[in-house]
Each structure stands twice: as structure tokens, then as C-alpha cells.
Amino acid sequence: MEIDRFIIPTVTIFIGLILCFFMLFPLSAILKMSFFKGGEFALANFTLVNFQKYFTTAYTLRALWHSLYVSVVTTIIVTIIIFFYAYAMTRTTIRGKTFFRNVIMLPLVAPSIVQALALIYLFGRNGLITAHLLKTDWNIYGATGIIVSEVLYCLPHAFVILYTTLSAVDIRLDEAAESLGASPFKVFTRITLPSAKYGIFSAAALTFNLTITDFGNPVVIGANYNVLATEIYAQVTNLYRFDLGATISIILLVPSLMAFMLNYYISRKTFSMISGAARPVIPPSRPLKKISYSIYCSLVTFAIFLVFATVIIGSFVKIWPYDWSLTLAHYSFPSIAGYSAIWTSVWVSLIVGIAGAFITLVAGYVMETRRPFFKQTIYLLSVMPAAIPGLVMGLGYILAFNKPYYFFYGTPWIIVINIVICNFTLGILASISNLRNIDPSIEEASISLGGDTFRTFFRIIFPLSRVAFFQNFVYFFMRSMTTISAVIFLVSATVHLAAIEIIMLDNDGWTASANAMCTCIIVIVLIMLGILQIVAKKTGQRPEGMTSAV
């Protein structure tokens, strides 16, 4: 009996079915809800009334303009800031590059709400800087607050892309131009910028996508300034208008999908350009250039530090910014969830980490080395999750699975599944790029020696992938600890998660406790990253740090 013959097709079909059932099916539920009367699929029920309602109601229509406005502005700011930051890392000889590179990644360890919390403490109605130092009435709520917090949130994501691009572009081009007598300004505009253009567009597209789909920051700092993401939440949670929620989801899906596809298309070009490029030594920068870039990078990292310091300090002082005496009072969480939410988050994240790392490794193995004939389909299904905003996916889960016979609905398991699916794309791309580093002959050697698929996978492929596996584990763990939008619709009266508790606490006026909860998450994620470093050092393979986790 040659069972082995059927293992690969079976596993492939299984993975395909999982992705269909937990991704396409919820999406179809959203389509159904928005395009069909009462969400009942039938030709006669087809209607555009929801969209008509959306576009004729001034208040909801404004959310679209608001979203586009903050996303475009954020995108421009982030791209410019990060371009020069990455330029400093790759083209100048300033000191402390390792430090700068690590700090810029820091926002990844916290939920995308930490920025808003910090900004409110600094520039809010009772902000340290606005109300107490400058004694002004101006405050940051609304569009400005959203833009500033989104900028601070998107920096690491954009940095990874531009850093990779600028490292790959041959610096000798610049030198050649300079030696031919071109002024530094001309070199910059004629050589450096054009050679990095794919990276710039790609970083911009990603930033746009992250901003327009983010929920945590706008819900805290947006006040009356509604955006699409917060509007979906409001329609569903406050007004129970699932049909409108689904409709706005579709409207949100359009620009985010476009940005995703643009990014996907561009990054393919970038990577074909990057492969094989040399990385020569950077010539020493002129003192003035060095000083200005050092100051510039210090300012950016200062802003990031300020966010984290504010939230962490804010969680330990009695009454910000009146009474600076230290206290642990905010860590006795007022709501019933409190620490149980943290524990739930931790064990959910551990399961997400293991399951996510394992399933993406298996899927990557099946696709990369065994090349089943439906590889293309599975690949397409695997990259789709990155294009779907977490909030939309979450709403899809309610619409699709809120039926008594889906036993996992309302349990932590649906949260586990949702987070794994939402982050499937990066997980599988990391697995595939790792597997491509393993000599295909090694696998064939094992098979020719009589190793069946199971034993080849567990004795050869898995041990050779364990650092990549652990990196993926940490990535999934981190995403699971910090995601808000994907799971906000899936928490319930019995299942609480730490990241969601931050919003709840903030909403109920327990701002300091919200900061405390946020601090707990940051500490847990940092501990996990520390363990990754130790494990990687022990196994002798250097992890790419957080850079590879995004």
C-alpha cells in the first residue's frame, strides 16, 4: 500500500478547504449581507439599497472622505520620514545604526492603540504638554490625532521595505555620478530617488493599507471624526445594523485591496531587482551630513520612545499629570476581565503561535517542494488574507458562524482560527523563503533512502527549519497579543482579550488602567522576543530580529 502517494494531495486539499471555509466563506457572508435583502441569497433579493443609503447619508459618507484623507496624509508623511531614515541607515556612516534599526521596530510590540493613548496623555484635553506646559486649549483629538498616531504606528512597516530596497540598490552608482562631477543634490534626485522608486511606492501602498484599515488608534483618538473602520464598528455594535456594517466593509475593502495589489505587484518587481546585488562599503560621510542625519534619526526614535515612555509611566503614576507619585493601583484592573484577559491572551497567543507556525510550514513545504498541481490556487488563497482588513474578516466571522451548529463560535477557538488566518500570508511567505534555502537534493536524498513523507518532514525538513519555525511562532504570537481589529467582534461576555480590554477600559474612563494593560502586553511580547534571541543564539543561527517578523 502506498499511502504516501495520497498524503500530499490530502494535506493540500485540507489546507485549501481551511482557507476556503475560514476566509472565503466569511467574505461571502459579507457580500451576501450587503448586496441582498435580509442577507438572503437569491436573485430576486439583489439590491443596492444599502449602498444607496450609505452614499446618501452625509454622516456615513463622510467616513469615507475622512478615511481617505487621513490615509493619504499619513502615507505621504511616513514615506518621507522613513525614506530619509532608511537612507541614513544605508548610505551614511552615522553611529548607532543597530540601535536606530531596533528602535524603529518597537511599535510592533504594542497594539496599534498605544500611540493614541500616549498622544492623549501628552496633547489631549488634559495633556501634559498642551494643558500644563503650554496652557493652550488646543488638543489633538480628531484628524490630527489619527494622523500622528498612525504615522508613529506605520514607521516600522515602511522602514522594512525601504531599508531592504536601499540596501540593495548599488551605492556605486552614486559614487560614479559624483566622480563625474554631479552635485550631491543632482545625485540624489537623478540617481538615488529613481533607483528606489519601487521601494517608495511599495512602502507608500503598505502604509496606506495599514492606516485605512486600522481601528485601535482612530477609535481612541478620533472623537467625533469617524473613519470607515470605526463606522463599521459603530453600525454593528451600537446600532445592530449588520447590513450597513457589511456595506461599509465592502467600501473599505475596495481601497485597501487596491493598495494591497499595488504593493504585491510592485514588491515582485523590487525583489527581482534586489537579488544578487552587491553591497559595497559605504564611503565615510561628510561631518555635516553625519551630524544632521544623526540628529534626524534621534528625533524619530525620540518620538517613538516618547510614546512608550508616556504609556508606561502613565500606568505607574497616581493621576497624570497632576500627581506624579508612583502607584500600582492601575494594575488592579477594575473590570471583571482584568488579569484573566491577559492569561487568555497569552494562551490564545501561544496556541496561535504554534498552530500558525506549524500550518504555514506544512503549507509551505507542500507547495514549495512537492508542487501539487493546485499549487497556484493554494498560493493565491494564501496571499489573500493580507488584503483583507481584520475588522472585515471579524465581521465576516460573526455573519458566517453565528449559528448554533458552529460549536466553536463564542469560544476562544474561533479567535485562534481568525488570527491564524488573518496573518497567514506573512507566515507562509516566511516559510517559503526559508524552505527555498534548503537544498532540494536533501529531501530527495531522504526519499531515495526510503524516507516516507512523514518521516522526511519530521526528521529532515522540520529540524532544518526550526529557527524559521520559531521566528514564525514569535511573529504569530506577537500579532495575536497585539491585534485589535481582527478580534474585536469575536470577544464575548465570556472570552476577553487583553488588547480589547484596553479599548474597554479607555472607553469606561479608566485611562490609566488602559495604559497598564497596554504595558502588560508590551512586556509579555518583549519577553517572548528575548527568548527568541536566546534560542537563536543557542542554535547558532542569527535571527533577523523583528525585521523578519513583519
Partner 1 sequence: METTSKQLVLKNINKQFGDLVAVKDVDLVIAPAEFVCFLGPSGCGKTTLLRIITGFEQQTSGDVIYDDKIINDVIPQKRDFGIVFQSYALFPNMTVHQNVAFGLKMRNMPPKLIDERVGEILKLVGLTDWERHYPSQLSGGQQQRVALGRAIAIKPKVLLLDEPLSALDAKIRIRLRTVIKRLQEELGVTMIYVTHDQEEALALADRVAIMRDGEIRQIGSPWEIYKQPKTSFIAEFVGTSNFITGKKKNGKVQFGRLELAVTNLDDSGNETVYLAIRPENIELVDETRSSENYLASNVVEVAAEVINFLGAIVRITFILEEEEMLVDISEKAFEKLSLKRKDKFKLYFPPDEFHQYTELFRKLI
Q: Which is nearer to partner 1, 447 or 535 (CB)?
A: 447
Q: Which is nearer to partner 1, 272 or 541 (CB)?
A: 541
- Which residues sit at the interface with partner 1, rule CB under 8 A? 2, 4-5, 439, 441-442, 444-452, 455, 459-460, 463-464
Nearer to partner 1, 404 or 463 (CB): 463
In the block, residue with C-alpha cell 526614535? 301
**Shortest Cβ 443–partner 1 spacing (Å):** 8
Q: What is the DSSP letter of 518?
A: H
Give me the least distance between CB of 543 and partner 1, in Å please: 18
Least distance in Å: CB of 449 to partner 1? 3
Long-range pairs, 499-502, Cβ under 8 A, ≥24 = 499/111, 499/113, 499/216, 499/345, 500/341, 501/333, 501/335, 501/337, 501/338, 501/341, 502/111, 502/113, 502/117, 502/216
The minimum distance between CB 453 and partner 1, in angstroms, equals 9
CA distances from 529 to 37, 58, 177, 280, 523 (A): 48, 46, 42, 31, 10
Nearer to partner 1, 368 or 506 (CB): 368
Cis bond before residue 321 (omega within 30° of 0) = yes
Least distance between partner 1 and beta carbon 211 (Å): 43
Q: Which of 404, 430, 450, 454 is nearest to 546 (CA)?
A: 430
CB of 439 to partner 1, least distance (A): 5
Unique residue bearing C-alpha cell 534560542: 535
Instruction: Report which of 27, 28, 32 is spatially closest to residue 42, judged by C-alpha positions.
Output: 32
3-state secondary structure of 323: strand
Residue 110 vs 361, nearer CB to partner 1 = 361
To the nearest whole angstrom, how small is the minimum distance from the Cβ of residue 505 to partner 1? 47
Q: 93 in helix, strand or coil?
A: coil
Q: Give the C-alpha separation, 545 to 532, whole Å.
A: 8
Q: For 36, phi and psi rounded to 5 degrees? A: -125, 140
**Residue 246 is placed in which grid cell?**
457589511
Query: Is 446 or 515 the residue whose CB approaches partner 1 more closely?
Result: 446
Cβ distance to partner 1 smaller for residue 179 or 448: 448
Q: How far apart are CA 107 and CA 231, in angstroms?
A: 25
Nearer to partner 1, 276 or 450 (CB): 450
Q: How far is the CB of 9 from partner 1 (least distance, A)?
A: 13
